[in-house]
Structure 1
Amino acid sequence: MNVKVEDISSVKKQLSFEVPAARVDEEIESAYKDLAKTAKIKGFRQGKVPRPVLERHYAASVESQVVERLVSDSYFKALKDEKILAVSGPEITDGGILEKGKAYTFLVQVEVQPEVAAKDYLELPLKKETFKDDETLVGARLEEMRLGNAKVETTDREEAQSGDTVIIDFEGFINGVAFENGAAENHSLDLGSNSFIPGFEEQLAGMKLGEEGEVTVTFPLDYGKKDLAGQDATFKVTIKEIKEKVLPELDDEFAAQVGLASLEDLRTRIKESHESQERSRIEQEFREQLLDVLIERNTFEVPDSMIKSQLDHMLENLSNRMQSQGMSLEAMGMTPDSFMELYREIAVKQVKGNLILEAIALQESVQIEESEIEEKLDEIAEKHNASKEMVMNFYADESKRRGLVAQLAEEKVIYFLTGKANVEMVDESIAGEAEQGNDKE
């Protein structure tokens, strides 16, 4: 077999193959011998069908089978011999013609992993936000929990106000004519929830129980029903019942409802949870900034197949999360195609970032020791409240273990780069002021 390799781009190669006539004849003979053992043709006993009859009935099938075998064997042998790291399946651009006694030629194009030689990755100019403890957030979270545990009770107030739940009858009109599906009775609405047409809820605040009032709104231009989008409408509304939220007291009894001994324990739990989330956010933003700088300093082409693979992975993760919450992509008004379009740039960045980090790991001889893997497995078991044995069984799968090692290597490289970078610690409020300054410009 002769093969010629040409670069179409930095991430795509063309392979020109010529399979010798002797190999072609050998494969054709082998295919017909195998076929002769099983072929069933009326008038002939199985295994006794003459070759000319087989050729008359099965020539196209045999040709397809032989071509598939020749292409597959030649292609994978070439990848190994030429040390080509393919990241896509082969695309046959010229299949050639299979003829007995003649060499078989064909052309294949394949995308390959880019060769990345990372540069300028030391002494990166980076900023990192300093974590600040904020007691006001603890209080805000406690209020959220109170609201979540509030009881809704009918009030003797005659006038509705924001935060109330009202039971209403309403009917909508456009140019004085009632429109389809624009009326309802005994409809429950939380004032301030912004779950109705913009401007509707605000006008109910101050309206009195039992009195018919009038509300004027404009349907948004992107409203789901096209015939109503952008239209001015008037609603006649009657409040039939006013309910208010009765919040529980913030005390030890309230803390006991979430399984804690005291209110102080609850405050501590909220504070620790907030700190953990904030530190994770800060680290993630720092990582994103680090990758942005690396990508800016290292330009290279990325094959479409790697981007597509990353998008598929992202879509699968999102779909699984949404399914666990009883939601779907369609419920968000998205399709797989619109998701791919929306998140393509993010996928490109993730692929480039991973390739650069892999290159740095190779250039800096970053190794992952078995002890580091064991430590990570212990950490995963503790985080998910699982046994070490269960976690080890999960990562016994070779592909999952490779993924874990790759994750550890990435963490190690980022730690290395951070230690070599020029990191300026910034205050959150200062960062906010800087953004405001940019907006003014």
Structure 2
Amino acid sequence: MQVTETLNEGLKRSYAITVTAAELEAKVNDKLAEAQPEVEMKGFRKGKVPMALLKKQFGQKVMGEAMQESIDGAMSDHFQASGDRPALQPEVKMTNDDWKEGDDVEVAMSYEALPEIPEVDFTQIKLEKMVVKAEDEAVDEALGNLAETAQDFKARKKGSKAKDGDQIVMDFLGKVDGEAFDGGAAEDYPLVLGSNSFIPGFEEQLVGAKAGEEKAVTVSFPDDYQAEHLAGKEAVFDCTVKEVKEPVAAEINDELAKKFGADDLAALKTQIAERLEAEYAGAARALMKRGLLDALDGLVSFDLPPSLVEAEAKQIAHQLWHEENPEVEGHDHPEIETTDEHTTLATRRVRLGLLLAEIGQKASVEVTDAEMTQAIMNQARQYPGQERQFFEFVQQNQQMQQQMRAPLFEDKVVDHVFENATITEKTISKDELQKAVEALEDA
């Protein structure tokens, strides 16, 4: 077997691989001899089929397998000997299209090699970590928001008309074609107008109702209503409004705290402060990560495989196009051309991606099974009622697993660099942090 270099230009490599006819024949004979003891054929005992008959019966199939194995072996030996790592799957094709049995096999292999990536002295990297404490004003604001979500209702003045957002307490009886139906009646039922918890059109007809008023509400069940005997039918609900109540924020006290799982108000405030500071820390980390990536981008320079940059630029252009055209959900659209701006961004992403991958490999950074499981569970919560199906889908989809593993790996590599970089802390206000985050998003 011969491997001859035909191109070595930058990161581009091409080789001519020749597998001789004698090598192929020897490999075919070895494979047939290995299989012979298990072969059964009419007229022969198991394992006693003559080699000539085996070759006639299975030779062509085995020849194809031997050819593929020989080429794969030559490629594997080449990469092991040269130390090259292909940026993408190598392009391999036979060059003697008129090949027939007894001829040598001639193959051309070409690829772009991943570059040699220089070492980085992490101690040269100087970063600023923003620290924000949860001020009393921010805690009180968050507490007020919680009180609004835990709103209560109090009776409006006698004779007041119900408004959108009010709660009415009522008795109702629903009928279809003059006949009451199961599940269509209730007493002292509390309904928040505008909550859309009833059939479309129901709540709007009760806006303006007063306590003590009786009102007939006419609606049509949706065509896809879960109860098939009611789907698409018109119904009349005889409603008696007993009370009209307006929403009021819950009182900020120990009782409110207990609604949110805290022992008392002081404990709830502590929990809120911890949550706020965790949010601030997350934003501060994003800013510090951006600072790190900028620093790394300025510290290293190396050649990049053009194919990776081109593929990334196309991906960026495609993603941005869909963000600008959200009404187009599929990919049945004209080809999207890349611009210099896309290529510049792609160049940075590819360079940093290769650098972080190299740093992670040298530092033996790994994403554990437990970390992957946690990430899958976190994402599965976005699909209520279908968590198990999502989990099984990810387990069976290697590409999806890689998409979820990549950001976890990157964050672990970033944390590794943080541990070795020079970091100084700077205490700032929440507003200053917000401005820094906005500036990052606009950049």
- The alignment's TM-score, normalised by the length of structure 1, stands at 0.54
The one-letter code of the counterpart of 1:260 is A
Cα deviation digits, residues 195-227 of structure 1 (max 9, x gap)? 99xxx9xx99984557899xxxxxxxxxxxxxx
* Structure 1 alignment gaps of length 5 or more: 170-184, 214-237, 312-332, 381-402
8 A Cα contact 1:2 1:19, kept in partner: yes
1:413 matches 2:417: yes
Query: Is contact 2:128–2:288 with CA below 8 Å preserved after alignment?
Result: yes
Change (3 A) 1:113 1:337: farther
Q: 1:261 to 1:6 in 2, by over 3 A?
A: farther
Is 1:164 the equivalent of 2:163? Answer: no
| Number of the residue aligned with 2:274 | 272
Structure 2 residue aligned with 1:249, among 238, 248, 251?
251
Give the deviation of 1:418 after TM superposition: 4.7
> How many positions carry a matched residue from both structures?
339
Note closer, same or farther for the CA distance 1:96–1:166 as it changes in structure 2 (3 Å cut): farther
RMSD: 6.0
The aligned runs of 1:347-358 (5 Å cut-off) are 352-357=351-356
Note the residue ranges of structure 2 that are not aligned, 5 or more in a row: 173-184, 218-237, 316-327, 337-341, 372-406
CA distance in 2, matches of 1:358, 1:88: 15
Task: Specify the alignment match of 1:146 in structure 2.
Answer: 147
| Structure-2 change in CA distance of 1:147 and 1:285 (3 Å) | same
Q: In 2 relative to 1, CA 433–6 (structure 1 residues): closer, same or farther, beyond 3 Å?
A: same
Q: Is the 8 A contact 1:306 1:351 kept in 2?
A: no
Q: Distance in 2 between matches of 1:277 and 1:44?
A: 77
Match of 1:117 in 2: 118
**For 1:24 and 1:280, how far apart are their aligned partners in 2?**
60
- Please list the CA deviations of residues 379-436 of structure 1 after superposition, one character each: whole Å capped at 9, or x if unmatched: x9xxxxxxxxxxxxxxxxxxxxxx99986654242354454x9x99876646767999
- Is the contact between residue 166 and residue 246 of structure 2 (CA under 8 Å) also seen in structure 1? yes
The equivalent residue for 1:286 is 288
Give the SS at the match of 2:134: coil
Q: Is the 8 A contact 1:159 1:205 kept in 2?
A: no
1:195-206 equivalent positions in 2, closer than 5 A: none
One-letter amino acid of the structure 2 residue matched with residue 92 of structure 1: V
TM-score (norm 2): 0.54
Give deviations 1:323-343, integer Å, cap 9, x for gaps.
xxxxxxxxxx978999xx9xx
Give the equivalent residue in structure 1 for 2:399.
none
Shift of residue 273 of structure 1?
A: 1.9
Mapping of residues 18-417 of structure 1, within 5 Å: 18-86=18-86, 88-94=88-94, 101-110=102-111, 112-117=113-118, 129=130, 131-150=132-151, 158-161=160-163, 163-164=165-166, 207-208=208-209, 244-245=246-247, 247-292=249-294, 294-295=296-297, 298=301, 300-301=304-305, 304=308, 352-357=351-356, 410-417=414-421
Deviations for 1:226-281, whole angstroms, at most 9, x for unmatched residues? xxxxxxxxxxxx99866644654322233234443321121112112211221121
> Is 1:248–1:254's contact at 8 Å kept on the other side of the alignment?
yes
**In structure 1, how many angstroms separate the alpha carbons of the residues matched to 2:265 and 2:433?**
34
Q: Secondary structure at the match of 1:48?
A: coil
Structure 2 SS opposite 1:159: coil
Amino acid at match of 2:166: D
In the TM superposition, residue 28 of structure 1 has moved relative to its aligned partner by: 1.5
* Letter aligned with residue 271 of structure 2: R
User: Which residue identity does 2:62 align to in structure 1?
Assistant: V
Contact in 2 for aligned 1:252/1:262 (Cα 8 Å):
yes
- SS of 2:77's equivalent? helix
CA distance in 1, matches of 2:68, 2:107: 11
Q: Report sequence identity in percent.
A: 20
Cα distance, 1:132 vs. partner? 4.9
Per the alignment, in what secondary structure is the counterpart of residue 18 of structure 2? strand
